[in-house]
Structure 1
Amino acid sequence: MSKVEAFRALHHHRAPGDPLVLPGPWDAASARVFAEAGFPALATPSAGVAASLGYEDGQVPADEMFAAVARIVRAVDVPVSADVEGGYGLAPKDLVERLLEAGVVGCNLEDSADGVLKNPRAHAAWLAEVREAAGDRLFVNARVDTFSCGIGDPGPAIERAALYVAAGADCVYPIGAPPEILPLLRAGIQGPLNVGAPADGGPSPAELGARGATRITFGPGLQRRAARALREIADRLVR
């Protein structure tokens, strides 16, 4: 079984309360820590990688992001999926080629830009082109940004998710969805459901799984928590 096949299989036939937990490494060293801890796969966060490279989220040049992701992939044996934001303006075929060159098995793709939601049908058509170019070589996680853009009604998220699944997305990620509406999203969305979890506090991955999450990611939360811990160590050293 190839890495992408193994990664895809991890998302299916999961029991309620047992979601796939994917830590988000921001560099090779953190990736090794997570892999050595026994996680079966990893998912890079764009904001966490940006911080490690000295950029604000969304400001990393494409070449630097792909190079950073490739270093993470080389550091571990487990499958790695990459958050590549909105695709950096690359044509679907070129985006797929860059992802495969980096060695990843999947990607996150956002449906907003600069805080503004994209036209869902146009975005679905673009996702379909990504799917066609990738074939079965990449696991496509389609992010749904309605909640992060201030729309609390789950209806638009469910509608967008349906378009993206029909376009060939393997999973959808309604980022920022409140935990209490996860059962509604689960009932209205076909296929695997990615849910973001806090790095500390809030519902546990098992609790989110019981509410309908198939997989759990943490965005930049783990990188930020590690940075806080390092800051505390630094503060003690200078006293």
Structure 2
Amino acid sequence: MPVTTADKCAAFKKMHESGCFILPNPFDVGSARALQQLGFKALASTSAGFAWSIGKADNRVTVDDVVTHLTALCAAVDLPVNADFEGGFAVEPDKVATNVARGVRTGVAGLSIEDSTGDAAKPLYDFNLAVERVKAAHKAIDADDGGVLLTGRCEAFLWGRNDLNLVIERLQAYSAAGANCLYAPGIKTREEIAAVVKAVHPKPVNLLIGASGPSLQEAADLGVRRISVGGSLARAAWAGFMKAACEMAEQGTFTGLAHGYPGGELNKMFK
């Protein structure tokens, strides 16, 4: 029996009720199918990983690019997909709502909205505007009545604003504005993680982990509900590609190709 979007949304919501799970970030259809084969129960898109896969820098893709990408990811796997929807591809709340409605129609089970402006001089939207943007996203999701889970993101730590009180104030406001899950990428210490979990309880918290951080069990012990890895899997894939390609370009040798994943195994996975 085909897995419907409603099935995916219900399963995704259930996953947030207890325990902690890994939400890995594929960057294309192939990597999404591979992660499903490995037994993961849900996936999340990555703005950076996707952008690199189409030859663009992070935060330089369009809403049309992302909607097409999300539609392909959701159709390719039977798992719930959470959309990294950046800042909603608009500033004004009503335009964020319009774009979120488009995102919801791709078949995603979750969608995140962040509060970063992209301007280093003023990296976060003003508090009230940031809250209104989350409210608008929530309203658009609610109008669809499909059960898509909304994640509110505070990007302060990623922009060097390491003010935990600011982050908590914003996450609590995003929760009140309708966010079902809260996310502050960049927090790392046990004390920071525990403080965020406590501040937004009983809403679930997403934790970003790159090359280092707590284990799944350690994050669960801190009360985290899910762990995502952002563009880290994409960067790992690019590392192997660039190492082998640079060797060919600079030395005219091909030893790096010996470390590739077996083609026969890939064919088995994708048959």
TM-score normalised by the chain length of structure 2: 0.81
Pairing 1:121–2:128 present:
yes
- Kindly indicate whether structure 1 or structure 2 has the higher relative contact order, using CA contacts under 8 Å at least 6 residues apart: 1
Using the alignment, how far apart are the partners of 1:156 and 1:93 within structure 2? 25
1-structure distance, mates of 2:85, 2:97:
14
- Aligned twin of 1:67: 68
Residue 108 (structure 1) aligns with: 112
Which residue of structure 1 aligns with residue 28 of structure 2? Answer: 27
The Cα of 1:132 is off from its aligned counterpart by 1.6
- 1:144-176 CA-partner distances (Å, limit 9, x unpaired): 112122222311111101100000001111110
- Which of 237, 242, 255 lines up with 1:226 in the alignment? 237
Match of 1:157 among 167, 173, 183: 167
Structure 1 position 238, deviation (Å): 2.6
User: Aligned partners of 1:96 and 1:62: how far apart in 2?
Assistant: 10
Confirm or deny: 8 A CA contact 2:88 2:100 kept in the other structure. no
Residue matched to 1:79: 80
Matches within 5 A, 1:1-239: 2-14=7-19, 19-89=20-90, 91-114=95-118, 115=120, 116-135=123-142, 136-137=145-146, 138-180=148-190, 181-190=192-201, 191-198=203-210, 200-234=211-245, 235=247, 238-239=254-255
**Preserved CA contact (<8 Å) 2:188 2:213:** no
Q: CA RMSD in A?
A: 1.8
- TM-score, normalisation: structure 1: 0.91
2 CA distance for matches of 1:206 and 1:56? Answer: 34
Q: Give 1:95 deviation, angstroms.
A: 1.7
Unaligned runs of 5+ in 1: none
8 A contact 1:69–1:102 mirrored in 2: yes
Please report how far the alpha carbon of residue 233 of structure 1 lies from its aligned counterpart in structure 2 after TM superposition: 4.5
- Deviation sequence 1:84-142 (CA, Å, 0-9, x none): 11111172442232112221111111111114111122211221122122115321111
List runs of 5+ in structure 2 lacking aligned partners. Answer: 1-5, 256-271
Report the Cα distance in structure 2 between the residues aligned to 1:238 and 1:61, rounded to whole angstroms. Answer: 37
Q: Secondary structure at the match of 2:105?
A: helix
Q: Which has the higher helix share?
A: 2
Q: Which has the larger radius of gyration?
A: 2
Q: Which runs of 4+ in 1 moved over 4 A?
A: none
1:212 Cα offset (Å)? 2.9
- Whether the 8 Å contact between 2:207 and 2:227 is mirrored in structure 1 is yes
1:22 Cα deviation after fit: 0.4
Cα deviation digits, residues 24-63 of structure 1 (max 9, x gap): 0100000000011111110001001001111000001221
Distance verdict in 2 for CA 1:92–1:117, change over 3 Å: closer
